[in-house]
């Protein structure tokens, strides 16, 4: 196993059993053919062909598209085709969050292969000159990646919520970081990946932040999603990423990016160029 292995694990896909998904002749996602066939039951909302899936062209407004698709998703949920309703809406876009064509429940996002946006924060401290980073362990009751290690703060960005506001909310809910401290987080770029999953396709973007925390800060989960926290030396965290499957898959990428930016992984590493390129794959639908 290696750092590069973890990056490739988040970029495994073929899309041979998927159909492109279009809105207004703009591709916004990929839908697995078996799921596309189920959408044929709603021809007023989706036009399904052997080659592609199109949102009905007479659905013109953001609000109308959102409402009509929501009706379909609710029906799929009742039939047990969709396993859960998240209650948080994600933008459906071929570019930025601000250019959304409609919104869709977070739980349905991978079924339509749309780009999802998240925020991940590295909370670190200097202890006697040694860099240490806070790591969380996800609750064993989480529906996704239970009991896996996670970044100190990580969460999706719902449609229409400003990044700063959402980051402050996630910081408090997941680690009890007060808003004035969360406001000191430094945006350090983004990570993108394209991964085929059991649900569908995830061409996702994670905005990354670094936050130096006071040495006496102790994170406390407020929403029950984190089981416990650890303050570990970077060398230990690096070894866990490099040698184990302890972390939730995409969180490995956030740690690797941090290791590169902080000089723990240097250009002398044989996989350096491939790792740097692999953390920011092209932003395609």
Q: At residue 174, what are phi and psi to the nearest 5 degrees?
A: -95, -25
What is the band of 285 on the pLDDT scale with cuts at 50, 70, 90? low
Q: Does residue 225 carry a pLDDT above 90?
A: no
pLDDT at 284: 76
Q: What predicted TM-score, i.e. pTM, was given to this entire model?
A: 0.95
DSSP per position, 164-217: HHHHHHHHHHHH---HHHHTTPEEEEEEEEEEE-SS-EEEEEEEEEEEEPPTT-
Q: What is the largest CA-CA distance in the chain?
A: 64
pLDDT tens digits along 100-116: 999 999 999 999 999 99
| Average pLDDT across the chain, whole number | 96
What is the structure's pLDDT at 29? Answer: 98
Sign of CA dihedral 58, 60, 61, 65: positive
Whether the per-residue pLDDT at 143 is higher than 90: the answer is no
Please tell me whether residue 17 adopts helix, strand or coil conformation: coil
Q: How far is CA 69 from CA 18, 21, 50, in A?
A: 19, 13, 20
Q: Alpha carbon of 251 to those of 119, 138, 219: distances in Å? A: 11, 12, 18
pLDDT in tens, 62-85: 999 999 999 999 999 999 999 999
Domains of the chain: 3-11+116-278 (3.90.79.10), 18-112 (3.30.750.160)
Report pLDDT digits (tens) over 30-42.
Answer: 999 999 999 999 9
């Amino acid at each position: 196993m290696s750092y590069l292995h973890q990056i490739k694990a988040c970029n495994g896909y073929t899309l041979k059993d998927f159909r492109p998904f279009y809105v207004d002749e703009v591709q916004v996602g990929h839908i697995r053919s078996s799921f596309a066939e189920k959408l044929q039951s709603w021809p007023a909302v989706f036009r399904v062909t052997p080659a592609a899936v199109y949102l009905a062209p007479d659905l013109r407004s953001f609000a109308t598209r959102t409402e009509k698709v929501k009706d379909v998703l609710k029906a799929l949920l009742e039939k047990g085709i969709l396993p859960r309703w998240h209650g948080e809406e994600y933008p459906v876009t071929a570019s930025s969050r601000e250019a959304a064509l409609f919104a869709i429940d977070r739980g349905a996002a991978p079924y339509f292969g749309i780009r999802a946006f998240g925020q991940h924060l590295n909370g670190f401290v200097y202890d006697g000159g040694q860099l240490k980073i806070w790591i969380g362990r996800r609750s064993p009751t989480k529906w996704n990646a239970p009991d896996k290690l996670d970044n100190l703060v990580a969460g999706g960005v719902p449609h229409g919520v400003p990044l700063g506001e959402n980051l402050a909310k996630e910081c408090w809910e997941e680690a009890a970081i007060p808003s004035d401290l969360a406001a000191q987080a430094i945006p350090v770029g983004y990570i993108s990946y394209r991964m085929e999953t059991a649900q569908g396709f995830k061409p996702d973007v994670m905005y990354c932040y670094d936050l130096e925390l006071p040495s006496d800060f102790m994170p406390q989960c407020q929403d029950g999603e984190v089981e416990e926290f650890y303050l570990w030396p970077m060398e230990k965290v690096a070894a866990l990423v490099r040698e184990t499957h302890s972390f939730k898959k995409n969180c490995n990428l956030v740690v690797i990016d941090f290791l590169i930016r902080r000089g723990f992984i240097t250009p002398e590493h044989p996989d350096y160029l491939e790792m740097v390129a692999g953390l920011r794959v092209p932003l395609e639908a």
